[in-house]
Amino acid sequence: MAEDEEVVFTTSTGPVRVITAASLFDGHDAAINVMRRLIQSSGAEVIHLGHDQSAKAVVDCAIQEDAHAVALTSYQGGHVEYFTYIRELLDEAGCEHVRIFGGGGGTITPPEIRTLHQSGISKIYSPDDGRTMGLMGMIHHLMGLAGEVDLVGEDRMKSLDGPITPDDMAKVGLLLTLSESADEKAFKAAVEACRSSDRDVPVIGFTGTGGAGKSSLLDELMLRIQRDNPGKKVCLLCVDPTRKRTGGALLGDRIRMNSLSNNDLYMRSLASRGSGSEISANLDRAIEVAKAVGFDLIFCETSGIGQGSDAITTVADHSLYVMTAEFGAHTQLEKIEMLDVADVVILNKYEKRGSEDALRAIRKQVRRNRNMFDVADEELPVVASIASQFADGGVDRLWQKVAAMVGFEASEPVDAMGERKGVIPPERIHYLSEIAVHVRDYHAANSEVAEQLRLCQH
Ligand code: B12
Ligand SMILES: Nc1nc2c(ncn2[C@@H]2O[C@H](COP(=O)(O)OP(=O)(O)OP(=O)(O)O)[C@@H](O)[C@H]2O)c(=O)[nH]1
Ligand SMILES: [Mg+2]
């Protein structure tokens, strides 16, 4: 096979799903970034976690995402322990089928590679492999082995034999795989066999322009949910676009989710898989799974949308529209469909230049669209937020509104909406010069004492 020949791999359940990450305490992410792009261009749905990822984070992700394989790099040492611990955790969770691939250049020695292969790691790629197989040769080898994994094999399907709960992460993962790939009859049968709840659980939809901060806001809401409603089980279903040319996708929402270490939260990344819209064709089925196994609340995130899109309203009970100040001229606001229908409009990245003007214009447009001319600014369904700011007052207000929609508890906000706190509080802004002054005073006092002692001794 020629080095640059494009080969696309698929399985009976759709594209190969691969988790990629660099190991714990390791910032060497250049190699995995190259590999994940090539894996994606070979037709895989890649869920990228980034660098510095613990074994537990990788394993939880592989289980929830029902992945065929994980592909990791490790350059900082400790690779034998890291890879074998991931194997152990996956096996303990009943996920012996998930294949593990890795690389770490010359830092993983040939005897260590042999040990790792004997411990159930499918393949560690060495620099020699790079030379003999070539870059695409390694990727095709990985994709071929990952594609052999049958996610809906007999043993796994047999495990769907009774009611399951959100804590049965692997079985929920398998049901979600069926939601994307099984025919209607098989899907319904599996859901009914596993049903543990008949409750009608609220579904909140997050939509908005690409990169506006949907996932960051979701992550911030998750932190508040855990703080104010410990023990509640929440399911996140996040859609990113499938690339038409290869059928692969970068499912990148998970990289923003720092809150996921809490096992009350469950996240599944979905590719749009040719739905032709910002939600996946089977998102309604995935929601059905989340309801049937007893989650208390379901969030859906769409891929980035344009002015006329509102597909989220077809699956969500309440929808939130996230935008930034960069919407163009004020007249552009008149074209945005979601300003008519969103339960809350969120102007995120509020610390950026032009946001105050944008907030005024959005409020004006929402007033016009909904005939809300007599309503005070604070009563309008418009929130300004800074999702990247710790304990942001705007996100707190958004959480209050969402909590009221779904009957959850929400703490009172501490800070005002739109307050910019900065990393260093204003009263501490000169802290480095204060330290320098203290050190200088200390040295001056020391010199004076030393001088007096010198005079006394002579
Ligand atoms: C680039 C690099 C950096 C860059 C990283 C940039 C980035 N964002 O990734 C910078 C300069 C930032 C850096 C910093 C450091 N680095 Co550095 N770095 C390297 C270097 C030169 C190359 C690593 C690399 O990315 N190679 C590119 C890959 C594609 O090629 P490869 O490694 O040969 O891998 C082959 C196969 O294994 C395979 N492969 C690899 N991974 C995968 C994955 C999959 C899925 C597949 C299919 C294949 C595959 O592909 C290649 C085919 O030939 C290595 C030395 C070296 N020459 O290898 C040191 C090296 C890894 N770094 C090292 C060190 C010590 C550091 C620092 C701690 C230095 C310091 N004191 O600050 C920091 C730590 C950074 C951190 N936060 O973790 C040491 C590690 C020593 C050890 N483990 O015992 C090394 C080995 C250098 C050395 N000899 O001392 N580093
Ligand atoms: N300055 C600033 N950056 C933010 C804020 N919120 C999010 N970001 C950054 O904006 C970038 C995109 O954020 P995401 O949360 O991934 O946005 P998204 O809308 O989910 O993106 P897609 O899912 O790709 O459409 C990231 O680099 C975030 O760190 C904010 O309030 N201010
Ligand atoms: Mg996102």
| Same domain, residue pair 436 and 362 | no
Residues 86 and 142 in one domain: yes
What is residue 428's predicted lDDT score, i.e. its pLDDT?
80
> Is 156 part of a structural domain of the chain?
no
Do 228 and 362 lie in one domain? The reply is yes
Q: What is the residue range of 220's domain?
A: 202-406
Tell me what the pLDDT averaged over the chain comes to: 95
Assess contact for 320 and 206: CB atoms under 8 A. Answer: yes
Instruction: Tell me the per-residue pLDDT of 29-56, one tens digit each, with 9 for 90 and over.
Output: 999 999 999 999 999 999 999 999 999 9
The Å distance, Cα 217 to ligand 3 centre, comes to: 9
Strand partners, 123: 101
347 and 431 housed in the same domain: no
Are residues 221 and 301 both part of a single domain?
Answer: yes
Question: Which of 378, 369, 379 is closest to 418 using CA atoms?
Answer: 378
In-domain check, residue 287: yes
Higher pLDDT, 43 or 8: 43
| Number of the ligand closest to the Cα of 46 | 1
CATH number of the CATH domain containing 330: 3.40.50.300
Mutate to test the pocket of ligand 1, among 75, 79, 81 (most ligand atoms within 8 A of CB): 75
What is the arithmetic mean of pLDDT over 439-444? Answer: 96
β-pair type (14-15, 10-11): antiparallel
The tens digit of pLDDT for each residue in 186-196 reads 999 999 999 99
Q: Which of 151, 169, 194 corresponds to the end of one domain?
A: 151
- Whole-angstrom Cα Rg for the chain: 26
Domain count, the chain: 3
Q: Is residue 251 part of a domain?
A: yes
- The verdict on 383 and 238 lying in the same domain is yes
107 and 222 housed in the same domain: no
Ligand 1: does its nearest atom lie under 6 Å from the Cβ of 82? no
pLDDT score of 4 more than 60: no
pLDDT of residue 426: 73
Q: Residues 250-275: pLDDT tens digits?
A: 999 999 999 888 999 999 999 999 88
Task: Spell out which residues line ligand 2, taking CB within 6 angstroms.
Answer: 210-216, 253, 256, 304, 348-349, 351, 386-388
When pLDDT is cut at 50, 70 and 90, the band that residue 2 belongs to is low
- Packing angle of the helix pair 169-181, 184-194 (nearest 10 deg): 160
| Residue 283 forms part of a structural domain | yes
Would you say residue 173 lies in a domain? no
Residues 6+ apart with CB under 8 A from 148: none
CATH code, domain with 47 = 3.40.50.280
Q: Does one domain contain both 369 and 227?
A: yes
Residues 386 and 440 in one domain: no
For ligand 1, whether the C-beta of 28 sits within 6 Å is yes
Other C-beta atoms closer than 10 Å to the C-beta of 178 total 26
